[in-house]
Amino acid sequence: MDVHPSERKPEVIGQREEERELLERLLGDRLVDVGRAMDPDNPNLFTWWAPWRNLRQRNIGWRLDYILASPTIAARAASCAVLADVGTSDHAPVVMATA
């Protein structure tokens, strides 16, 4: 879900099943992926786009940037936004606001 369907390649580094499982184990119940917790069903939540073929403008990307927080801090989140129109990098800033 964190990679645009046209970019999904299960054998590519960053998309392999064992990598995703390791990330889940590392996070466990100690850290919350705030962006996904705030927007669990959004298939277009990307933070990185390859710098060719207008992929950023077409939102064909990967979600590589996260805000990870303790459950206590994550519970205070009022929003977690990807600022896709900000900056000149191929990554977008991710910003969390608290209540």
Q: Return the ∠ at Cα 49 (arms to 74 and 6), rounded to 5°.
A: 100
Task: Give the mean model confidence (pLDDT) for residues 22-28.
Answer: 90
Which residue segment(s) compose the domain that 16 sits in? 5-98
How many independent structural domains does the chain possess?
1
Residue showing tokens 């119940």: 29
pTM attached to this predicted model: 0.88
> pLDDT tier at 7 (50, 70, 90 boundaries)?
very high
List Cα–Cα distances, 55 to 27, 34, 43, 71, 77, in angstroms.
Answer: 29, 25, 16, 34, 29
Backbone angles phi, psi at 98, to 5 degrees: -105, 160
Predicted confidence (pLDDT) per residue in 28-83, tens digit: 989 999 999 999 999 999 999 999 999 999 999 999 999 999 999 999 999 999 99
Residue type, 11: E
Q: Are 6 and 15 in contact (CB under 8 A)?
A: no
Residue 88 has pLDDT above 90, yes or no: no
CATH number at residue 22: 3.60.10.10
